[in-house]
Amino acid sequence: MKKNNYKQFFSRFSYLLIVSVILISSFSCNRTKPFFEESVEFTNSNWDFENRMLTFEKQIEGSETPYQIFVDLDLERDLDLDQFPLTLSIYSDQGEETHKEVVYFFPVVSDDGVSSPNTPKILTKEVYSEKYFNNSAKYTFKILRKSSKYDLLGIKAVKLRIVPKNIKS
């Protein structure tokens, strides 16, 4: 009788151990975890004109992995502009460079066509849906705000995010 109880205990323990390892492995291998994420916060929610260029740097090892690149605006309120263009420039210390513009539109309109309230929100724009860093290099990312020669009130922070592209097999 005792042998049977030990077998059942060992069988249940083995089952729980295997399930635990699988669950822990699946959570630790999250492909959407940011590869790079950095923010610049603005005092008094004011992106002043003198600091219109934001710079981020990252040493990246070359790979064949595609990445998505996003720029997030953390807003205290909608901007007093119809549109707000930004240019993301990427430079490598090997002389490669790319430039791409994204535009945020105001007032912010939801997917159902209704204007969203003029309250704090985070607006996200995908700059690259599939960007490759084939060469190992130090990369410099520069975000240039292209509108208004004045200070922009209402922007709390700007975040640059790079995440591995989730490729479905």
Give yes or no: residues 125 and 45 share one domain.
yes
Q: What pLDDT does 29 receive?
A: 47
Give yes or no: residues 69 and 92 share one domain.
yes
How far apart (Å, rounded) are the C-alpha atoms in residues 62 and 104? Answer: 31
The gap from C-alpha 86 to its chain's centroid, in whole angstroms, comes to 16
**30 Cβ neighbours under 8 A, 6+ residues apart:** none
Contact predicate 140/64, CB 8 Å: no
Give yes or no: residues 26 and 44 share one domain.
no
For 158, phi and psi rounded to 5 degrees?
Answer: -125, 130
Give yes or no: residues 108 and 157 share one domain.
yes
Q: How confident is the model at residue 21 (pLDDT cuts 50, 70, 90)?
A: very low
Give yes or no: residues 120 and 37 share one domain.
yes
Collapsed DSSP state (helix, strand, coil) of residue 148 = coil
In this prediction the pTM is 0.77
Over residues 84-128, the pLDDT tens digits come to 999 999 999 999 999 999 999 998 887 787 888 888 999 999 999
Q: How confident is the model at residue 6 (pLDDT cuts 50, 70, 90)?
A: low
Domain count of the fold of the chain: 2
The residue-averaged pLDDT of 138-145 equals 97
Range of the domain at 158: 33-164
Give yes or no: residues 136 and 151 share one domain.
yes
DSSP-assigned beta bridge partners for residue 36: 162
Give yes or no: residues 83 and 17 share one domain.
no
How far apart (Å, rounded) are the C-alpha atoms in residues 115 and 99? Answer: 31
Give yes or no: residues 63 and 42 share one domain.
yes
The residue-averaged pLDDT of 74-78 equals 93
169 in a structural domain: no
The residue-averaged pLDDT of 68-81 equals 94
